[in-house]
Structures are given as C-alpha cells and as structure tokens.
A and B are shown apart, each in its own frame.
Chain A
C-alpha cells in the first residue's frame, strides 16, 4: 500500500514536471490549473476542514496581486509616478530588479495577506454559516471597489507590470513552475497539517464549535491561524498571477468575486469537501469543463458554468471523493461496513 502510494506520487510529480514540455501549446492553461488547485486546496482548509465557508478568499488573491506589484515597482521607482504613466514605456527594469522584485513581492504578498487574514478574521469569525460567507464576500467586493477608486495603484485602469525579460515560451514555463512549486508545497503542507493535532482541532471546530471550545480548544486562535496559512498561499499565488498576467485591473482580474472567487468553492464541492484529494480532483475536472465550454460553447459558456454550479451544489454535493468514499470505502482504509456485516452473520 505504501509502495503503491509512493509510485502514485512520483508519477504525478513526474507528470507535472514534463507536462509543459509535452504540451507546449497549453502552457498558460496548465499554469492556471495549478492556480485553481492552490486556491481550491486553501479554500478547503477553512471551508472543508474547519466548516467556515468563505466566499471572500478572492480578497487574498487580489491583495496578493497588488502587494506584489507595488513591492516590485516600489523597490525601483515611485509607485504613484509609475502608475500615472500607465503604458508610457519609459520605466525599464534590469533582470536583477525584475527577478529580485518578483521574489520579494511574492513573499511580501503572502505575508501581507496573512496579516490581513488575522485582522479581518478577528472581526468576522464571530459570524457563522451564511453570515460568514456574506460578510467575507462583502469584504472582497468592498475592497475591489475601493481599490478601483485608488489612483496611487492605478485606479480602475490597474497596473501594467514589466514583461518577462526572456523569450515568450521560457516565460510560460517559468510561470508554470512557479505555480507548480507553490501548488506542491500547499499539498505537502496540508497533507502534513491534517495529520497533526492542529488538523484534529480544526476538524473539531467544524463538527461542533461549542463543544470544541468547552474541551479547551482556543477556537478563535485556531481559526485565525488556519485562515492566515490559507491566505499566505493564496497571496503568493496572486503575486505570481500579477507577473504572469502582466497587466491587471481591480474588478475583473484582481478582485474577481464572481469568477475565481466562486470557482474555487465549486472546485472543492465538485471534488469533495473536507478530503485531501477532493480539491485537486475537483480543480482538474472544473478546469477541463471550463476550457471545453469556453472553446466549444462560445456565448453560452457562462450559462453552462452556472448550470454546473447549480447541479453540483444541488444534486452532487458530496463530490467525486465523497461518492468514491461511499462506493469504495476500502480504498480509504474504512472497513466499518465489512465488520458490521461480519457480525450480523
């Protein structure tokens, strides 16, 4: 069993490494797939494992974009002047400035988003269930609207970052591996985390927060730490996105509440909430569905997507992993049913 798992993991890892070289035409789509996996896995940390369904995780993505961009530009030039000149083309970045700014920007974005998560979380974690969802959605929408009125970061026009200095194809592969690296770290991290005492504690919060509190778990602290960890990864992914997209603006690409903000939730529900592999499987299925409809159902793709959301939520809420767990419990090491059947005989 353990050997099988090692082989499976190595196969997946090997495939992720060769994928951009085997399918060079799909470089950007594959990078986006990793982004979906990252946001789905991190959404599941609070949504699936802790029972707090946030609709506002997109806030960290957008904020990550802006923080990374502001840091990368701010290290070399004055941000206000830079955004004022939007597309003037007089601002040049050397390779060192570009890559140094990117590294610091992405890291800074992650850290800043963690701090944001702690601040926002300490205000909103008193809200439960749907109120938490609406409250966090409100935070994301409000921030998007405020940023689009903030001229220092380019207002509604957004920011245009410098282009990757190498040639276009290397750039695509470079960003693919940045996303893949973050994605793999997230997966390893959550896999480890769910096995620890911490994972047990956040599961206890999901199952019954009052009892968990009564058992001596400092629930607010656990909730804040979990969200901060999720925010760290989403913020970094946002930072990478900012450099990959080159130009982004607040409402459609950074704080895209109804696109990525809702997609991540659908990915998790499609794959199976509260499971390790669910978000990954869901993200892959969802991304495939999205790319296919975007290519073959032009005009109707959003209707198809809305229908997918409704159908997933209403008819198929356990997701792929939940369905498998029900059909093939032995794959997950669950043997309860067999034992009960044996005793009955």
Chain B
C-alpha cells in the first residue's frame, strides 16, 4: 500500500514522469488501436468476434522477424507482413470463418479461440518460445535531462501505424470495395439485393483485418518484442477498446486505443509491472459494467 501511495506521489512530485507515461501509452495505444480497428471491422461487417486477433498480430511480427533473420531490411517487414497475413487471413476465412458467420456469436468466439491456440502453438513449434525482437539500430532521443527517452525506432513505428490507419480510412471512404464493405455492415441483405457479392466482401474484410494486424505486429517487433503466447493479451486489449468505443466508430476506436494505452501505463506505474495484464482486464470489466448500468437505466441488456 505504501508503495502504491509512493508511486502516486511520484507522479505529482515530478510532472515530467506523467509526460513519459502518456507518451509511452500513446505509442503502445496506437498499435492497440490498429488491432482493435480490425476487430471492429470484422465484428461490424460479419458479426464475428475474433479472439485470434492477437495471434494475427504476433504472426505478423514473426514474419518480419524471419525476414530480418534472412538478411532483409527491417522496414520491409511491414509491407511483407501485410501481404503474407492477407493470404493467411483469406485461407482461415475460407476454412473456418465462412462457416460461422450465420451462427450465433458464441460459436465464432469459441472457433476463433481454438484458432488462437493452434496459431500460438504452431508459432511456438516453428520459432521456439523465446521472446524475439528486431533491432533497427537507431539512436534514442533524450528530453528533459534524460527523464524522457524516445527511441527513434518507436517514432518510426508510430508514424507507420498512423499512415497505415490513414490508408485504411481513405480506402474505406473512397474505394468501391470500401463502400461495399460499409453497405454490407449496414444491412447485408439489402446489399445483396443491390448486387453486392457479400461473400466476397466478407472474405475481403477478414483478409484486410488479418493484414492490418500483421502490419501492426511487424511494427511491434521493431519497438517491443513478440513471443508465441503474447497473442491473448493483444486480443484482450482489442476487446477492451472495441467494447469501450462501440462498433463502426473509427475515431472512437483510435481515441479509446490511445486512452487505454495511457491508462494501462499508469496502472503499471502505480501498482507495479506485475499488474499490467490485470489492469487491462479490469478495464474491460469496468467498461462492461459501465455499459451495463447505462443500459439498465433504459431497462435494456447488453446483447
């Protein structure tokens, strides 16, 4: 308890620490937001809740790591991971996801949970259970007498995450396929009547989600590390963010992603690093509870 109070006191004594925590949180949150946006897309368009989201992220990270091991430049990892995970996502869609779309939501939850277990284990068998990362070899910038350290690699990661998000937004707004995806999300039957091949849209959406996750993973391997069993923590955060922001609300997803990144860093600072995962899960429960109370006021339930 004393330690917790001490940690809180530290925040007020040295306001610069706050800045560092918020910066870290925003950097981590930007990547959470990408995974969460993919989840919201799939959830909104085809009503599938993908618990393997985090494992797509980790797989993308391993694609990039594998490339670097074989002598390719690290920055190439992001587009390659995007393409490779697009293909993997398409295969998974054809084999599994296309058969759970029409079923109840628990089916998709459980099927993707099984997928998550499989993917984590296959990665473990292929690459071993050690943590891996890619060193870009850039310097670290220091501000405020070394209180705040910003590795250039992290800055590059954030810029790439932002440009990826921007690209996806522009694609969804202006391209023909983006329009078709949005139409299917609004009303899949009406979309079918209007001549949209919804099956194709579903396959495209799921592959796009997988590709976004893969690219996010390729960024993560540059700035933090990946390990075959880290997937579940990214899945949980993606669920936290989407539950907080709601579906089809892209600015909300990004804001929630950044906010949750920062909150989690605060939690880790105040309670200790061992509680970081617990803080993320508690946030999920608190958000569920908050939305529950909100709904109960209108005599509704959270469906």
List residues of A whose CB falls within 8 A of some B CB: 53, 55, 123-124, 126-131, 133-135, 138-139, 141-142, 145-146, 148-149, 258, 262, 265-266, 269, 299-300, 302-303, 305-310, 313-315, 317
Contact = CB atoms under 8 A, between A and B. Distances in A.
Interface residues of B, number: 44
Contacts of B243: 131, 134
Contact of A133 (B99, B106, B118, B277): B106
A265 B109 CA distance: 12
Interface of B: 49, 96, 99-100, 103-107, 109-111, 113-122, 125, 232, 236, 239, 243, 272, 274-275, 277-278, 281-282, 284-285, 288-289, 292, 295-296, 301-303
A38 to B, nearest CB: 21
A137 to B, nearest CB: 9
Given A299-B125, A306-B121, A317-B103, 5 more contacts: A53-B106, A146-B278, A309-B111, A313-B110, A315-B99
A128 B303 contact: yes
Contacts of A127: 288, 292, 301-302
A266 to B, nearest CB: 8
A149 B109 contact: no
B274 A306 contact: no
Contacts of A145: 275, 277-278, 281
8 contacts: A126-B302, A135-B285, A145-B277, A149-B278, A302-B117, A306-B119, A307-B114, A313-B114
A131 B243 CA distance: 9
Contact of A131 (B99, B113, B282, B288): B288
A138 B100 contact: no
Contacts of A262: 110, 113, 117
A309 B118 CA distance: 10
Contacts of A128: 301-303
B106 A129 contact: yes
B121 A310 contact: no
B107 A306 contact: no
Given A148-B274, A303-B121, A314-B96, A129 B104 contact: yes
Given A127-B302, A302-B117, A134 B104 contact: no
A128 B103 CA distance: 16
A55 B104 CA distance: 16
B111 A310 contact: yes
A317 B114 CA distance: 14
Nearest to B112: A310
Nearest to B100: A314
Given A145-B281, A313-B114, A133 B109 contact: yes
Given A130-B109, A134-B284, A300-B125, A310 B118 contact: yes
A115 B301 CA distance: 24
B100 A126 contact: no
B117 A139 contact: no
